[in-house]
């Protein structure tokens, strides 16, 4: 039986250190990082161009917020799994992200285990639909 292709991921965060850390964690999990973006506008472009399976999307960013980028990405391709990455644990922000179409969220600082749980939960939810 052929081996499943690695999940293709897009990392979006305005902090280079967070992007680098997340990139290293994802690669250690054998996920393929197809691109990175540092703002919402770039996230929308790169999601359309690279068609990742999963987008890790920061909420608070310059130009276009993560919530606005989320809405645009989901409008273009509802099948992309979007995991919000945020330091903001405010329940109204998290609820707004879920209502807008986020498939999950992880709080900064995050661990590899949190990434695995968020992706697994989103994939299971998707398979049940």
* Per-residue model confidence (pLDDT) at position 119: 94
- Taking residues 90-114, what's their average pLDDT? 91
Instruction: Please report whether residue 75 resides in a domain.
Output: yes
**Do 40 and 66 form a contact (C-beta atoms < 8 A)?**
yes
Instruction: Please report whether residue 2 resides in a domain.
Output: no
**Do 64 and 37 form a contact (C-beta atoms < 8 A)?**
no
Instruction: Please report whether residue 38 resides in a domain.
Output: yes
* Per-residue model confidence (pLDDT) at position 125: 83
Q: Is the pLDDT of residue 4 over 80?
A: no
Q: What is the CATH number of the domain that holds 88?
A: 3.40.50.2300
Residue 93 CB neighbours (<10 A): 17
Instruction: Please report whether residue 55 resides in a domain.
Output: yes
Q: Is the pLDDT of residue 3 over 80?
A: no
pLDDT tens per residue across span 39-81: 999 999 999 999 999 999 999 998 899 999 999 999 999 999 9
Residue 80 CB neighbours (<10 A): 20
Structurally, how many domains does the chain consist of? 1
d(CA 123, CA 87): 23
Strand ranges, E, within the chain: 8-12, 32-37, 54-58, 81-86, 104-107
Residues in the chain, overall count? 129
Domain that holds residue 121: 8-128
């Amino acid at each position: 039986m052929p081996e499943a292709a690695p999940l293709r991921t897009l990392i979006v965060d305005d902090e280079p250190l967070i992007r680098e850390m997340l990139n290293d964690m994802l690669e250690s999990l054998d996920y393929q990082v197809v691109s990175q973006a540092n703002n919402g506008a770039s996230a929308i472009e790169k999601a359309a161009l690279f068609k990742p399976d999963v987008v890790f999307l920061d909420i608070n960013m310059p130009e276009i917020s993560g919530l606005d980028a989320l809405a645009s990405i989901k409008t273009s391709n509802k099948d992309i799994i979007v995991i919000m990455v945020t330091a903001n644990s405010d329940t109204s922000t998290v609820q707004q992200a879920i209502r807008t179409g986020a498939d999950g969220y992880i709080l900064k600082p995050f661990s590899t285990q949190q990434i695995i749980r968020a992706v697994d939960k989103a994939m299971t939810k998707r398979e049940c639909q």
